[in-house]
Amino acid sequence: MKRIISRLGLMVCAAILIVSPPLQANRELTNLIQQLENWATWGGDYQATRYSELKQINESNVEHLKPAWMFSTGAFGGHEGGPLVIGDTIYIHTGFPHKVYAIDQATQTVKWSYEYQSDKDVDIDQVISVMCCDVVNRGLAYADKKIFLAQGDGTLVALRTEHDLLANGEFARLPDDTIDRSRLAGGIVWKITNGDSKLGATHTSAPLVVKDKVLVGVSGGEFGVRGYLSAYYIKDGSPAWKAYSMGPDSDMLIDPEKTTSMLKPVGKNSSLESWQGDQWKVGGGTTWGWYSYDPELNLVYYGSGNPGTWNPVQRPGDNKWSMAIWARDADTGVARWVYQMTPHDEWDYDGTGEMVLVDQRIKGRLRKTLVHLDRNGFGYTLDRETGELLVAEKFDQSVNWASHVNMQTGRPKVISQYSTHANGEDENTQAICPAALGSKNQQPVAYSPKTQLFYIPGNHLCMDYEPFEIEYRSGQPYVGATLTMFPARHNVKTGRSEQSMHLGQFTAWDAKTGRIVWSID
C-alpha cells in the first residue's frame, strides 16, 4: 500500500510539474498587470478598461503637463499602438516593416532593439500594398519574459527580452569584452506564419496572452480573406486552436446545440445557410481589432469585421458570422455565444472594436457585462457570461441608417432610404450616417470606475455610398463600392440638423442605460 501511495504521489507531482509552466506564465502577467507602475497589456488590464489608479496627474495639475523627453522611432506611417511598460523598461514599436525598442525609463537609452528582417519569399513592397489601412500595428504583448509582435507580413514572433537573459544568468556568463550585451535581447525565440500576405492576409492587431497561449487575429477583409482568431503556445509557437468567423461549424469551433445567440442555440450550419453558395470562403469577417479576457469565466472576447465584398447585392443573406461579438473558451477556442450586430452589413461597419468587461448594476441587478461601442453608432451592453443583450442604443445622435435595435431579436431596424442594398448596384445612396469609418473607429474607449462612464473618442462623419459589381481575384482588392465622406450635419450641442465643421466628437456614455451623458465636437 505504501508503495502504491508513493507511486500516486510521484504521479501527482509529475502532473503538477507539467502544468506549472502555463500557470506561471499566466500568474506572471497577472501580477504585472496588478502593479500600478506597469502597463503590461494593450488595454492596461485583461478587461480592456484602459484605466489607471495612479493619481500623480489630476485636475489640479494636468494643465502644467509638458514634454519631459522625446524619442524618434525613425519610422514613417501610422503609430496606432501604445507602449508597454514592464518594470524599468518601456517597449515601443512601429508599423511595418517593424522596429521594436526597449528603452530604459531612467536614462532614456535603448537597452536593445529589434528590426524586421524579411524571409526570402516575402516582398516588403507587396505586403505594404495589401495592408489596410496604412502599415499600422496596434500593440505588443508580453509574457514569459518574451515580447510578442504580430508582424504585417502575417507572421508572429516571440522576442527575447533582457528579463529572460537575466533569469537564465546569461549576462553573468558572458565577459563584457566579448559581446555587446544589448544584442542578446531582441533576438527571435520563435516565429510562425499565421497568414499568407500574398492572398492579402496581414497583421495589424495587438496579440493577447492568456494562460499559456498567445492569441492573434488577421486582417485583410478587403481582399476576401476569411477571418479567424488563432491561439499559439507561448513556449514554442506551436498551434493550439484556430476559429474562423464563417464557414462550417467545425471551422468556426461552434457547437450547434451549446453555442448560443440571443440565448438560443445557433443550430446546425448557422453560417453556411446565411451565404449564397461558396461566398463564405471569401467572406471577410477579419479580426484586426482588440481582444479581452475574463479569467473567472475563462472566456475570450473579440469582434469580427465586415463581410466581403462591400457590395451587399452580391452577397444576399445575413452573412454570419461577420460583424459579430464572440465569446470563446480560452483553452479550446469553442464558442460559448455569439451576437451579430449588423446582419448583412451594407456600409462597412467593422465590428472589431474593443470589448470592455465591467460589472454593472442594471435594473437593480449586478451583472457581469461586456460593453462595445460599435462603428455602426450603437452602444451594446451584454451579459458576458450568457450573451444576453441588455442595452442597444445610439451613442452618436447623427446615426440614421437604423432607427433602433429590436431587443427581442437583436436585429437593427434598417431605414430603407439609407440601405445601399435596397437602392441597388450603381446607385448612389446619399447622406448615410455614420460613414464607413464609423461613429467610432479602432481607437479604444476608456472606462472609469469612479464615474462608471465610458469615454468615447468618436468620429462625426457621414457618407455617400455607391456599390458596384466586382469579381474576386486572389490577392487583389475585393471592395466593390465607392464612397465620399463629409462632416455630419447634426449639431451635437443643439440637436439641430446643420452642417458641422467638426470631424470628431468626444462622448461620455452610460452603458447601464444607453444614455449620452455629454458630448462635444
Q: Which residues are catalytic?
A: 348
Select from 454, 373, 386, 380 the least CA-distant residue to 411. Answer: 380
Nearest to 43 by CA among 275, 289, 223: 289
Q: What is the DSSP string of 285-318?
A: ----S--EEETTTTEEEEE---BS-S-GGGS-S-
d(CA 202, CA 211): 25
Beta strands of 132-245 (E only): which ranges?
141-143, 146-150, 155-160, 188-193, 208-210, 213-216, 228-233, 239-244
CA distance 311 to 467: 5
Strand partners, 244: 228
| Angle value at C-alpha 291, between 91 and 162, nearest 5 degrees | 25
DSSP letter at 226 equals: P
Whole-angstrom CA distances from 188 to 59, 161, 509 are: 43, 10, 43
**What is the amino acid identity at position 46?**
Y
Q: How far apart are alpha carbons 238 and 294 in whole angstroms?
A: 24
The whole-angstrom separation of Cα 189 and Cα 167 is 15
Which residues does residue 371 pair with via DSSP β-bridges, in sequence order?
A: 356, 381
Q: Which three cell numbers stand for residue 480?
A: 466593390
How far is CA 246 from each of CA 50, 57, 172, 252, 306, rounded to the nearest angstrom?
A: 30, 45, 51, 6, 12
SS3 181: helix
Per the CB < 8 A criterion, the answer to whether 148 and 236 are in contact is no
Distances (CA, A) of 263 to 124, 352, 360, 408: 46, 22, 20, 10
CA distance 436 to 482: 11
Complete DSSP assignment for 15-51: HHHHHHHHHHHHHHHHHHHHSTT-B-STTSSTT----
Q: Measured between alpha carbons, how far apart are the two ends of the chain, in Å?
A: 77
Q: Which SS3 state, helix, strand or coil, does residue 279 take? A: helix
Strands 264-265, 260-261: parallel, antiparallel or unpaired by DSSP?
antiparallel
Helix, coil or strand: residue 173 = helix
